[in-house]
């Protein structure tokens, strides 16, 4: 007589499944709309110059270090008490929750509330920090591309999608070590230890002790 296991069997999870779930969350839509508006405006303005290729190249080179800096200084911000005022950033609070449960899908994404000021800030930089409005639009459009790439990569790492290429497997392993091995290392998400190698946070994983606070940053309970 045969018996049937009552334990649920996890179905395969494809890139199509991932794209469908990805599109259900606010931040990809907000970044996508920003990209479309910036791209449309950029095409209308014209005035293409060599700097329109230089700016994205520089942004791409700098992005791993920007990602590292945000992760270390903002996402891992330790709450501080300034007199009667408790300084605890929204992004830091959400990131602590993300470490508690890395599989909670909404917590994987940039909070839409944060994008309500991040995106206008990017628009202000595009309008005020560049000598040509066309170049500012190039910056804005590519910033949205990088944001979408970050969101997609971060989501995919925490989803049930399994690595099928060596390059993605390296990125996947790098970020999962941050969550499940030691939160003090491996801060880059979209690359395999680029900024981490330069800034000294890419150790041999075999030589690093498993952290007891990887799921409870700063030993916080909230």
The pLDDT tens digits for 38-50 are 999 999 999 999 9
Write 40-43 long-range contacts (CB < 8 A, 24+).
41/137, 42/134, 42/137, 42/138, 42/141
Is residue 136 situated within a structural domain? yes
Give the pLDDT band of residue 11 (cuts 50, 70, 90): low
Do the beta carbons of residue 38 and residue 140 sit within 8 Å?
yes
47 token code pair: 């005035």
Please tell me the pTM assigned to this model: 0.90
Is residue 8 situated within a structural domain? no
Mean pLDDT for the chain overall: 92
Give the pLDDT band of residue 221 (cuts 50, 70, 90): very low
Q: For the chain, give the percent of residues with pLDDT over 70.
A: 94
Is residue 18 situated within a structural domain? no
By residue range, what is the domain housing residue 71? Answer: 25-219
CB environment 77-92: b (16+ within 10 A), e (fewer): beeeeeeeeeeeeebb
Structural domains of the chain, count: 1
Is residue 19 situated within a structural domain? no
The pLDDT tens digits for 88-111 are 999 999 999 999 999 999 999 999
Is residue 90 situated within a structural domain? yes
User: In the beta sheet, which residues pair with residue 74?
Assistant: none
Query: What is the rounded average pLDDT of the residues 140-169?
Result: 96
Residue 13 confidence (pLDDT) = 87
Is residue 40 situated within a structural domain? yes
Is residue 9 situated within a structural domain? no
Res. 32: pLDDT tops 70: yes
CA distances from 207 to 182, 204, 210 (A): 11, 5, 10
DSSP-derived letter for residue 46 is -
Is residue 15 situated within a structural domain? no
């Amino acid at each position: 007589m045969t018996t049937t296991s009552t334990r649920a069997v996890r179905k395969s999870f494809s890139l199509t499944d991932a794209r469908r779930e990805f599109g259900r969350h606010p931040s990809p839509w907000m970044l996508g709309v920003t990209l479309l508006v910036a791209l449309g405006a950029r095409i209308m303005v014209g005035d293409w110059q060599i700097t329109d290729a230089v700016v994205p190249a520089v942004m791409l080179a700098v992005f791993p270090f920007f990602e590292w800096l945000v992760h270390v200084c903002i996402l891992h911000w330790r709450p501080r008490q300034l007199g009667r005022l408790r300084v605890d950033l929204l992004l830091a609070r959400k990131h602590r929750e993300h470490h508690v449960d890395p599989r909670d899908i909404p917590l994987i994404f940039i909070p839409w509330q944060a994008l309500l000021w991040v995106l206008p800030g990017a628009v202000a930089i595009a309008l005020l920090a560049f000598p040509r409005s066309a170049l500012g639009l190039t910056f804005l459009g590519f910033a949205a591309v990088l944001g979408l790439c970050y969101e997609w990569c971060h989501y995919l790492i925490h989803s049930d999608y399994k690595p099928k290429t060596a390059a993605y497997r390296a990125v996947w392993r790098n970020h999962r070590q941050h969550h499940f091995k030691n939160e003090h290392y491996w801060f880059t998400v979209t690359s395999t230890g680029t900024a981490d190698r330069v800034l000294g946070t890419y150790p041999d994983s075999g030589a690093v002790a498993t952290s007891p606070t990887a799921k409870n940053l700063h030993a916080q309970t909230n």
